[in-house]
Amino acid sequence: MEQRKLGTQGLTVSAMGLGCMGMTFAYGTADETEAIATIHRALELGINFFDTAEVYGPYTNEQLVGRALRGRRDGVVIATKFGFKFDNGVRGVDGTPENAKRVANESLARLGIDAIDLYYQHRRDPSVPIEETIGAMKELIDEGKVRYRGLSEVSPETLRRANAVHPISALQSEYSLWERRVETYVLPTVRELGIGFVPYSPLGRGFLTGAVNVETLGENDFRRTNPRFSKEAAQANQRIVDAVRAVAEQCNATPAQVALAWVLSRGSDVVPIPGTKRRRYLEENVGALDVHLTPDQLAALEGLHEQTAGARYTPEMMSLVEH
């Protein structure tokens, strides 16, 4: 599989990663056997970049990823994240140096590894200067517990301040055919600073595949609380899926493959991490690497984000996203 560089510090990963969140968290019933088989199949297909986080569960996702990759560590890049505080659920953010270090040690134990390859601050804590958080993450690198550092959903100003303390290798933010706001200020800053970009939800939490019926989502499916997945918004957003499907028919591909091919085409510094917990969808996603969109097809997809109905998150969750 094609390899892409994240940042300028030496981190190289497969052109597509695997988001593991849904294997234990957010998207309905978990199936550990199939999830582990999916991670193993990803390795067979050339994916070496796996994304998890403390908050996914919490804790259970890191444990599953650790079990799946035990004995298969060579050449694998494991990314995880810290930054929330818990008390019977998520109760805000915690970017203190003490939390960054504590979670790193606990994540290492849950994953069963000696060093975290890429350690992200999951959400910025506005009560803690970013310089203090990054300083603690630098100490973890100096101690050999972390190899590379990342941030998620932060503003250009925060990126600049953080990168001035110690180079950031990757920024993870939402990016897809129906969510492109990072293009205005964030992506130009990332590229100016030489930071890699890791889009999460490149399939619009599955909606862009055309296979999601919002009325049949399980009671424990996170998307039921997402404004973009309300019945009214979903009806409006079907126009986007229809346009993606039309291009897919021209390419002899699936809508999911077209949506991923579009993200992959945005630059060699872009590494999407589509999530799935099933081998059949993983194999479909990897097929996007062989889909090459023509200028006319790219033009047909260009304005779709302007039609997106519904907010990305609830107001409470959006308050944690910097712009």
The closest of 206, 209, 196, 218 to 268, measured between CA atoms, is 196
DSSP lists the bridge partners of residue 44 as: none
The closest of 145, 142, 72, 140 to 115, measured between CA atoms, is 145
The closest of 66, 287, 320 to 173, measured between CA atoms, is 320
The closest of 206, 208, 195, 200 to 272, measured between CA atoms, is 200
Could you give the residue numbers annotated as active site?
A: 56
Please say whether the beta carbons of 169 and 137 come within 8 A: no
Calculate the alpha carbon distances from 252 to 1, 255, 257, 280 in Å. 21, 10, 10, 18
29 vs 298: CA distance, rounded Å? 36
Residue type, 211: A
Structure tokens belonging to residue 164? 């001035």
Please say whether the beta carbons of 140 and 109 come within 8 A: no
71 vs 73: CA distance, rounded Å? 6
Give me Rg for the CA atoms of the chain: 19
203 vs 255: CA distance, rounded Å? 9
Please say whether the beta carbons of 311 and 318 come within 8 A: yes
